[in-house]
Structure 1
Amino acid sequence: MKSYTAKLSLLAVVTIIISLFSTSMEAQDTGENHKIVFQLTDNDVKSQKALTNQLKNLTESWPNAQIQVVVHSAGIHYLMKEKSGFKSEIEALVKKGVEFKACENTLKSKEIDKLEILEVAGFVPMGIGEVVLKQEAGWSYIKAGF
């Protein structure tokens, strides 16, 4: 009877150790298999702040994730040198691997020169088209803001 109880206790301890190991393995996800595209289309400072915070959280938790932010329509101010309230945050995020893309159609329709956009940002011909291409390629889509 004592050997049965000892075996049962040992089995319980081993089960607990295995479950703890499994949980810690899940918590160590660095994001290397995650591809995320954000779409920012409005000039609301609260939405831009929320986006910036979400990007910070993602890059801290998943440093190896691929992240792209496509900015178009009224959201273009987020990437403008003279209008963005998030220049230093955007530059820090770029250093962590986040890509920011400004829509050339938006620039053309709003008569904004590419030189007015932060140097760390890139360009795409059509913002909504870029979002579609990313989704078709398997990227997760997140609408920036609330």
Structure 2
Amino acid sequence: MKNLVLTAALAAGLALPGLAQSSTAMTDQQAFQQGTFHGATADQAQYHVIYQLDSDDPKLIQQTLRNIGNALEDTRLKGKLTVELVAFGTGVAVFRKDQSYEPQLTALKQKGVILAQCLNTLKEKKISKDELLPLIAYVPSGNGELIIRQAQGWSLVHP
């Protein structure tokens, strides 16, 4: 029955996304085997990604900021990428005024990156908004933001 439906759909000229992905994967595999693979093709009109930062480790913070910058500079994604950075837990360090990340964050914001801080973290850690950079936004819950964004189809990156 499945083959009959598939044959009818193909005969009618209907697009079948599942087959297109398999075909793309096969083409990518063939290109890899031939030594001509240069990465996935960005064939969608728009991409959305949320970066999760829940650590105050300076190396991890720098890695996350660098990863965001690299994604924004990927020629395949230029003009097609919406990015959000959500910080919670000890990740709040990235947005603190007493840290050195403001120039990098300002540059990311100028490129359209949404910078979001979890309000639950501020409450739990007794941190005032006055202690944080004025260029950020606030979300009720970092975990809630991740859940909602993923349900909306956003990719999650947790360096």
**Structure whose CA Rg is larger:** 1
The alpha-carbon deviation at position 136 of structure 1 amounts to 0.5
Displacement of 1:58: 1.1
- CA separation of 1:66 and 1:46: change in aligned 2, threshold 3 A: same
Check conservation: 1:56, 1:93, Cα contact below 8 A: yes
Match of 2:158 in 1: 143
Q: Distance in 2 between matches of 1:32 and 1:39?
A: 24
Q: Which amino acid aligns with 1:73?
A: G
Number of residue pairs matched by the alignment:
119
Q: Would the aligned equivalents of 1:31 and 1:63 in 2 still touch at CA under 8 Å?
A: no
Report the 3-state secondary structure (helix = DSSP H, G, I; strand = E; otherwise coil) of the residue aligned with 1:97: coil
Deviation at 1:81, TM superposition (A): 0.9
Structure 2 match to 1:18: none
- Deviations along 1:54-87, one digit per CA (max 9) or x if unpaired, are 11111112343110011000010111111x2211
Secondary structure (helix, strand or coil) at the match of 2:55 reads: coil
Task: Report deviation, 1:115.
Answer: 1.8
Identity of matched residues, %: 28
Alpha-carbon separation, structure 2, partners of 1:109 and 1:59:
33
Q: Which residue in 2 is equivalent to 1:60?
A: 73
Higher RCO by CA contacts (8 Å cutoff, separation 6 or greater) = 1
2:61 corresponding residue in structure 1: 48
Which residue identity lines up with residue 77 of structure 1 in the other structure? A
Going from structure 1 to structure 2, the CA distance change for 1:31 and 1:73 (only over 3 Å counts) comes to: farther
Amino acid at match of 2:141: M
RMSD (Å) for aligned C-alpha atoms: 2.1
| Structure 2, unaligned runs of 5 or more | 1-36
